[in-house]
Chains A and B, each alone.
Chain A
Amino acid sequence: MDASDQSQLTLAGLVGVSGFVGATLRYHVSVAIPGLGGTLVVNTLGSFLLGSFLYVAMYSERFGPTTRAMISTGLLGSFTTYSTFAVGTATTTPFLAVGNVAATYGLGIAGVLVGRRLAGVVRKRTSSDGVSAW
């Protein structure tokens, strides 16, 4: 095992730890809001947070690969879920299924776009102050 295998293993472990946290948080939301609604909330919120984080990361080159993997692959990757959304869609009434797909896709994509806008505003503000916050 060379040094790069070692660091991949460390990264996998950190993704596991942050994945534990993300899945646990998702469980708590599902208890507070059972059914399709809870899944819609985690997927919308998670998409917004991931959009904000990754666009800030892209604009600023501020976060290293370890932070990126922990936040995006581990925490938010686990917090959001496609399987629960898809099985929920497949096992509900046709009317709710169509509504669930439209709402989940619409709000998920809107969440990423709002996150992108937010990251853009933060970037503009910090650069117009003449202070390089990133």
Chain B
Amino acid sequence: MTLPPAYLVGLGGALGAVLRFGVGRVMDPVAFPGGTLTVNVLGSFGLGLLTFSGAGTDTIYLLGTGVCGAFTTFSTFSFETVRLVEDGRRRDGVLYAGGTLLSALSAIWLAWFLVAR
């Protein structure tokens, strides 16, 4: 007996969102959007581990699409990038957008190195 995929993703997503909320509470008061950077890199690493380890379909739905998918966020990331540039911090905006991508891709490469090598 197993739940339909939509529920597995939803349940995982609820947990991922609450965890991201928790990280935001801890890391919010910094000038640079470090909370979002942290969740996006950690979550990309987690999804990389799951993807390369050949986890089963239900595990991918619950932990991958659900938890890691919802723990990370793109909408907050793009909003924060625009806000940095709006505040006249163009360089920080570029660093933030580029740094998130490079860090996330490096984390995924590390996950591949650890699991699939």
A contact set with B: CB distance below 8 Å: 8, 11-13, 15-24, 26-28, 30, 42-43, 46-47, 49-51, 54, 69, 72-74, 76-87, 89-91, 101, 104-105, 108-109, 111-113, 116
Contact = CB atoms under 8 A, between A and B. Distances in A.
A15 to B, nearest CB: 4
A interface: dominant SS: helix
Interface size class of B (residues with CB under 8 A): 35 or more
Given A16-B14, A19-B16, A73-B21, A81 B69 contact: yes
A105 B12 contact: no
Contacts of A19: 13-18, 70
Contacts, number: 180
Nearest to A105: B97
A82 B13 contact: no
Nearest to B46: A83
Contact of A84 (B5, B12, B20, B65): B65
A104 B104 CA distance: 15
A28 B74 contact: no
Interface string B1-24: 000011101111111111011101
A16 to B, nearest CB: 4
B interface: dominant SS: helix
Contacts of B46: 83
A116 B82 contact: yes
B75 A79 contact: yes
B53 interface: no
B48 interface: yes
B69 A74 contact: no
